[in-house]
Structures are given as C-alpha cells and as structure tokens.
C-alpha cells in the first residue's frame, strides 16, 4: 500500500493540503486503534495475575517502546513534509532535504513493521491469528497516505516522478525487516510476549503523537484531521472485532 500511495506522484505534483491532512489523521486513527485493540489488549490478556500485576508488563513495555522511539527520534536526522529547513530534527547533518524527508517516513515505519511481526509471532504460539491479520490490514491501509506523504514532497523538491516513486515505496522496506525481528523475538522468547506487544504499541503511539498529529495539523485543517482520526480508528476497531 505504501507503493500505491507513492504512485500518486505519477498523477499529481501536489496533493491538496486538506486531503493530505485528512489522510494523515486517518493513519493516526488506525495506529491508535491498532495499539489499543491489537497490541495492548492482548498484552494484558496474556499476562497472569490480578490487579497491578496483570497490567504491569504492558505498562513497562509501553513506556519502553516510547522511550526507544524517542531516542531514535533524537538522533536520526529527519525533516517532516512541509516543514521549513530550520526544523530539521536529530543530529546535525549535511543530508539533502530529500534524504531528510525519506528518513522521517522511514521512522514512522519501524514501529508499524515491529507491531505486525510481534502480532504474528504471538499468533504462532496460540490464538490471535485473526487479530494479527486485522492489524496487518490496518497498517497496510494507513501506509497509503504515508507513501504519498513521501513521494509528492520529493517530486516538489525536483526529483523525477520515477525517483520520487522509488524512494517513496522504498521508505517502507524497513517494515518487513522490523516485522521479522519482532516475530523472531516472540517465537524464540515467548515469555517476553506481553512486553513485546506493549513495546510495539508504545512505539506506535509515540509516532502518532510526535509525528503524525503535528503533521496533520500543520496545514491548519484540524477539523479534517480529527475526523480522519475518528474514521481511521473506527475502521481499525471494526477490522479487529470482525477478524479477531
């Protein structure tokens, strides 16, 4: 789906800002619902005990996931689409603006791939295959606007349509790598399952709050972005219930 979104560059040099903000909001909504229903819920359900003991592994994993993403965010040079050059984040670098844009979306894709891998790894040790499929479908759907969010700005920066498409879809290649790592960790270290599920959720929520929501509001279309969140959350919730 990232490639499909990146393919918009063959038809448009620009994407209407309202449409982009709505799509980014939609992606945020999907990720929030996926974190709640597909990751945190199962993390708590698969923990023995009662009260605080039952939720503690999920809480630890969730916070740790956010902290890890914060460290990556602090050191990986990146620039959000539409942001001025002075808003480059991470360590100082001589990277061209196009590389910084690619880096920003690649940062989004790490927790998404990890979440899918962890979910399927969990399914391999018991129930939850339907939930893993629902999670992967939701992540796939929300990858569409992310692909467009890379390729169209790259085209605007002067790259050819083919180059913009290539880098747009390539930014998602980190997802299968992260998915394999997540699945392998669960398969070979089953006791960490609740922590890993919550870790992926924390990483995704960090990306939503730190990256997607501010980007969706950059164009001053807060109402549209918010409705996108609501729609994305609802669709992901329905997928999880229907397939989980």
Domain boundaries, the chain: 2-243
82: left (phi over 0), alpha (psi -120 to 50) or beta: left
What is residue 143's predicted lDDT score, i.e. its pLDDT? 73
Give the model confidence (pLDDT) of 180-217 as tens digits: 877 777 777 667 788 888 998 998 899 889 888 888 88
45-59, 142-156, 191-205, range with the lowest pLDDT = 142-156
pLDDT of 8: 59
Q: What predicted TM-score, i.e. pTM, was given to this entire model?
A: 0.81
Average of per-residue pLDDT across 3-18: 65
CA distance 110 to 171: 10
- Alpha carbon distance 221, 22 (integer Å): 8
Span 153-168, average pLDDT: 71
Instruction: Name the strand (E) or helix (H) holding 29.
Output: helix 17-33
94: number of Cβ within 10 Å: 6
Span 227-243, mean pLDDT? 89
Interacting residues of 238 by C-beta distance below 8 A, sequence separation 6+: none
Q: Does 77 or 1 have the greater pLDDT score? A: 77
pLDDT at site 107: 75
Lowest mean pLDDT among 49-53, 131-135, 158-162: 158-162
- Concatenate the DSSP letters of all residues of 144-207 into one string: HHHHHHHHHHHHHTT--HHHHHHHHHHTTTHHHHHHHHHHHHHHH-GGGHHHHHHHHHHHHHHH
Summarize the confidence of residues 114-139 as an average pLDDT. Answer: 76
Identify which has the larger pLDDT, 171 or 201. Answer: 201
Which of 110, 112, 90, 100 has the alpha carbon at shortest distance from 32? 112
């Amino acid at each position: 789906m990232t490639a499909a979104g990146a393919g918009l560059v063959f038809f448009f040099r620009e994407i209407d800002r309202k449409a982009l903000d709505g799509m980014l909001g939609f992606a945020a909504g999907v990720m929030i619902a996926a974190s709640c229903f597909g990751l945190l819920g199962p993390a708590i359900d698969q923990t023995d005990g009662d009260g605080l003991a039952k939720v503690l592994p999920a809480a630890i994993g969730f916070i740790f996931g956010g902290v890890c993403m914060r460290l990556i965010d602090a050191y990986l040079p990146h620039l959000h689409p539409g942001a001025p050059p002075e808003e480059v984040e991470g360590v100082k670098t001589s990277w061209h603006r196009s590389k910084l844009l690619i880096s920003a979306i690649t940062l989004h894709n790490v927790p998404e791939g990890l979440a899918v891998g962890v979910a399927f790894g969990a399914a391999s040790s018991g129930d939850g295959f339907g939930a893993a499929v629902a999670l992967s479908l939701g992540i796939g759907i929300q990858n569409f606007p992310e692909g467009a969010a890379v390729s169209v700005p790259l085209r605007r920066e002067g790259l050819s349509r083919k180059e913009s498409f290539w880098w747009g879809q390539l930014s998602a290649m980190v997802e299968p790598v992260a998915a394999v790592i997540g699945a392998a960790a669960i398969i070979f270290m089953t006791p960490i399952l609740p922590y890993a599920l919550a870790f992926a959720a924390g990483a995704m929520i960090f990306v939503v709050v730190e990256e997607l929501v501010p980007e969706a509001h950059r164009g001053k279309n807060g109402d549209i972005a918010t409705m996108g969140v609501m729609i994305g959350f609802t669709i992901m919730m329905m997928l999880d219930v229907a397939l989980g």
